[in-house]
Every structure is written in structure tokens, then in C-alpha cells.
């Protein structure tokens, strides 16, 4: 395990920079956003089904590799896993510019999304291994999510500019954004230290100071699965607000595409702010930050669904944009705390799996709800808000019960 105190400050800074920049893999799809509509006509041999697979269907393929990455992080050097994951992402994105054939596009996109899944799990596992003190871990995870939000905004802007710089060849233009992955991969190789898994001896030494449940797989699964379920349910709602916001705005009759873009940009800014504040808020609220954050998300959806007006849509998106990254950051920090160090990679992978599964299914849940119950997008936002509020209430009851039982602060 990397000893932070033995590393010079400049090396710690460069390590964090490399890990934070690796979130390019999480936000890189922002580069494709300006040309998604062109993929259906610009890719040779494209059909609606094959393009849809390349855009979102590949997320399903990545799911088992997310769990595999967590398993690997507990058994081999975490740096090797991160280099392998981001290396796959780099190869898939950079070489993806070589051909506009739909089969080639789908194959390289599959490589890209597998790399994304491995990168996110291994990067967070590295932070958990290096920053073992809970408050410090919470602070750097918040920074990680802030870096992710900022990178997403930069990628979207650069890709839009490159699309405009290559009129008639916009697809090749946006792919040039991915050349930035090459120097990022070099930084990861040079500055992320080797972080090998906890050895049996180290695990034995910690047994006396850890609750028995932490070292027992069946016991920690009992507490980790509810956390993963929380993440899944809240992420299903949040991702609809992220990906399908234009449907809400259209049904509410409160704006156009420019207004949707403004709301989305505001969400990115608030995500960055929430990440910066997470460490401080977490140090004060500890596990209760989950209830507060989930409640903010639920309130945002209810405000938008029950009072569909321009100012309330702005307020609702602000609450969701601030609450979600707070909860998402907590989930990763708490997952690592629930288990013994030798299981931290699997715990991180489990949370990431729940989030990724929710992202894959969120659009389908929206159309299913609207079609089955005859709702429009506005009413569905209210229904999602009710669901998230229920999750918040159950979370509060669970924490209160464990505190009264003396098993949790």
C-alpha cells in the first residue's frame, strides 16, 4: 500500500492530478454529444439499432468488467488495473477516428466503455488505498468528482469547437478531442505509485481493531447491498434529469433547446461546487449526509413535477445538481468503510455497477412509466421525486434504528 507520508508533496500532487485527469474516461462521451444526430447518417452501413448500441448499448457490455475491475483491485497492483483500463480507453478513442464504418465504430466503442468501467473503479480504489483516514478520503473523493465535472464541461466545449472547425467532417473533428488521452495516460504511468493489495499478514493485524462483519464476505454484503440499491434508485431518477431533461422542458412548455443547455450547464457547475464542499460537509454530517443529499434530489424532482414553471425548474435542477454528487461521493467513501481493506476494490465495483446499471436502464424506465401509466414527462418527474423521497425516509429510519441499537453513530 502506498504510504502517503513517505511521498514528497510534489509527487502526491502529480499523483492526484493524474488520477483526477483519468476521469476523462467518465466524461469523454461529452465529445460525441455535438454529432450524435450525424452518426445515424454519417457512419457507413449504420442502422438505428447499430448506432444506438454504439451510443448507449455498450454500457451494458461494460457492467461485468466493472465487477471484474473491483475483484482485480483486491488481488493485483491497482496501478496496473488503472493503466490497463485507461489504456483501453485511449486506444479505443484515438483509433476510433480511423474509420467511419458502423462495425468499426461499435467495436471501438465497446473497447472504450470497458476501459471506462475499469478506470472509474480502479481510480477510486487507489484513492481509498492511499487516503485511509475517513475525512481525508471524503475530501479527495469530492475533488475527484469536481475534476470530473470540470473536465466534462471542457470536453463538451472543445468538442463543439472542433466540430465547427471541420464543416462537413464534424465526426472526425470531435474525435480529435480524444488525443488528450495520450498525455493523460503518460501521467498515470509516470506518477501513480504501485499500490499492491493488502497482504494476509496486514489483514490479520487489523482484525482486532475491526468489527467482525468487515472481514466476512456474507456479512459485509448484507450492509453493502442496501447501499448499492440506494445508489441504483437515486441514479435512475438523476440520470433521467441528466439525459432526458429536454422531454420535461418540452412537456412543461417552459423553454427551448437553449434553455435545456443552460439547465444542464448549471448542473455541471453545481456538481463541481458540491464536490469541493463534500469533504467539509461530510466531516460534519458523516453518514447522515446521505439522507440530506437524497432528500435534496427528491425535493428537486417534486418541485419540478408538481410546479412546472421556469423558476421552479431552475430551482429543482439546482437541488438535484447539488444533492446528487454529494450522495454519489458519499456512496464511494462509505462503501470502502463498510469492508475490510482487502475487499475495498469489490465494494467500489459494486457501487459503480449499481450506478452504471441505473444509467443503462434510466431511459427505459422513463418511457415504460409514461407508456404504462399514461403520464407525460412532468408527471413522471413527480413520480420519480416521490420514489427518491421514499428512499430518503427509509435511509433516515435505517440510520436512526442502527444508532438506537448502538451499532452506528
Q: Could you read off the pLDDT of 151-170 as tens digits, one per residue?
A: 988 888 888 888 888 888 88
Cell, residue 115: 476501459
Give the residue carrying C-alpha cell 468538442: 159
Confidence of residue 384 (pLDDT cuts 50, 70, 90): very high
Q: Is the pLDDT of residue 91 over 80?
A: yes
> Whole-angstrom Cα distance, residue 75 to residue 318?
41
Confidence of residue 4 (pLDDT cuts 50, 70, 90): low
Q: Give the pLDDT mean for 51-61.
A: 84
DSSP letters, 47-84, are -HHHHHIIIIIHHHHHHHHHHHHHHHHTTS-HHHHHHH
pLDDT of residue 5: 60
pLDDT of residue 408: 59
Q: Is the pLDDT of residue 33 over 80?
A: no
> Whole-angstrom Cα distance, residue 9 to residue 233?
40
> Whole-angstrom Cα distance, residue 215 to residue 298?
34
DSSP letters, 200-267, are HHHHHHHHTTS-HHHH-HHHHHHHHHHHHHHHHHHHHHHHHHHHSHHHHHHHHT---HHHHHHHHHHH
Distance of CA 177 to the CA centre of its chain: 21
> Whole-angstrom Cα distance, residue 223 to residue 293?
20
pLDDT of residue 221: 65
Q: Is the pLDDT of residue 3 over 70?
A: no
Q: Could you read off the pLDDT of 102-121 as tens digits, one per residue?
A: 999 999 999 999 999 999 99
Return all residues near 381 (Cβ < 8 A) that are at least 6 apart. 240, 241, 248, 301, 304, 305, 308, 316
What values do phi and psi take at 372, rounded to 5? -75, -40
> Whole-angstrom Cα distance, residue 182 to residue 205?
41
Return all residues near 57 (Cβ < 8 A) that are at least 6 apart. none
Q: Is the pLDDT of residue 269 over 90?
A: no
Q: Could you read off the pLDDT of 195-210 as tens digits, one per residue?
A: 888 654 444 444 444 4
Q: Could you read off the pLDDT of 114-145 as tens digits, one per residue?
A: 999 999 999 999 998 888 888 888 899 999 98
Better-predicted residue by pLDDT, 216 or 339: 339
Q: Could you read off the pLDDT of 272-325 as tens digits, one per residue?
A: 899 889 999 998 998 899 999 999 999 999 999 999 999 999 999 999 999 999
Q: Residues in the chain, how many?
A: 409
Q: Judge whether 272 and 27 are in contact, CB under 8 Å.
A: no
Burial call 209-235: b when 16+ CB within 10 Å, e when fewer: eeeebbbeeeebbebbeebbebbbbbb
Cell, residue 145: 468528482
Q: Is the pLDDT of residue 171 over 80?
A: yes
Amino acid at each position: 500500500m502506498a504510504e502517503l507520508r513517505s511521498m514528497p508533496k510534489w509527487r502526491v500532487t502529480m499523483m492526484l492530478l493524474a488520477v483526477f485527469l483519468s476521469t476523462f474516461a467518465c466524461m469523454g462521451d461529452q465529445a460525441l454529444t455535438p454529432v450524435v444526430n450525424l452518426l445515424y447518417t454519417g457512419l457507413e452501413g449504420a442502422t438505428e439499432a447499430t448506432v444506438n448500441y454504439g451510443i448507449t448499448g455498450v454500457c451494458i457490455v461494460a457492467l461485468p468488467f466493472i465487477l471484474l475491475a473491483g475483484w482485480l483491485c483486491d488481488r493485483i497492483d491497482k496501478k496496473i488495473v488503472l493503466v490497463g483500463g485507461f489504456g483501453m480507453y485511449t486506444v479505443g478513442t484515438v483509433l476510433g477516428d480511423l474509420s467511419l464504418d458502423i462495425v468499426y465504430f461499435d467495436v471501438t466503442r465497446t473497447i472504450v466503455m470497458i476501459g471506462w468501467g475499469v478506470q472509474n473503479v480502479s481510480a477510486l480504489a487507489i484513492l481509498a488505498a492511499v487516503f485511509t483516514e475517513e475525512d481525508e478520503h471524503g475530501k479527495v473523493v469530492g475533488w475527484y468528482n469536481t475534476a470530473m465535472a470540470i473536465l466534462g464541461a471542457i470536453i463538451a466545449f472543445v468538442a463543439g469547437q472542433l466540430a465547427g472547425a471541420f464543416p462537413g467532417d464534424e465526426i472526425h473533428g470531435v474525435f480529435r478531442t480524444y488525443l488528450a488521452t495520450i498525455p493523460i495516460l503518460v501521467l498515470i504511468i509516470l506518477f501513480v505509485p504501485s499500490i499492491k493489495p493488502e497482504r494476509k499478514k496486514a489483514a490479520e493485524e487489523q482484525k482486532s481493531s475491526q468489527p467482525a462483519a468487515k472481514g466476512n464476505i456474507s456479512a459485509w454484503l448484507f450492509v453493502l447491498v442496501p447501499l448499492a440499491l440506494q445508489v441504483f434508485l437515486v441514479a435512475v431518477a438523476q440520470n433521467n434529469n441528466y439525459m432526458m431533461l429536454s422531454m420535461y422542458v418540452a412537456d412543461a412548455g417552459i423553454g427551448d433547446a437553449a434553455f435545456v443547455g443552460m439547465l444542464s450547464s448549471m448542473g455541471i457547475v453545481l456538481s463541481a461546487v458540491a464536490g469541493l464542499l463534500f469533504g467539509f460537509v461530510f466531516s460534519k454530517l458523516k453518514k447522515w449526509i446521505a439522507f440530506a443529499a437524497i432528500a435534496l434530489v427528491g425535493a428537486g424532482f417534486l418541485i419540478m413535477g408538481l410546479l412546472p414553471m421556469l423558476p421552479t425548474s431552475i430551482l429543482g435542477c439546482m437541488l438535484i445538481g447539488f444533492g446528487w454528487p454529494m450522495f454519489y461521493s458519499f456512496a464511494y467513501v462509505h462503501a470502502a468503510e463498510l469492508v475490510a481493506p482487502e475487499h475495498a476494490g469489490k465494494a467500489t465495483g459494486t457501487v459503480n455497477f449499481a450506478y452504471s446499471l441505473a444509467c443503462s436502464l434510466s431511459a427505459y424506465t422513463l418511457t415504460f412509466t409514461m407508456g404504462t401509466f399514461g403520464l407525460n414527462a412532468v408527471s413522471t418527474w413527480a413520480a420519480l421525486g416521490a420514489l427518491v423521497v421514499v428512499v430518503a425516509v427509509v435511509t433516515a429510519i435505517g440510520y436512526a434504528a442502527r444508532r438506537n441499537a448502538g451499532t452506528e453513530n
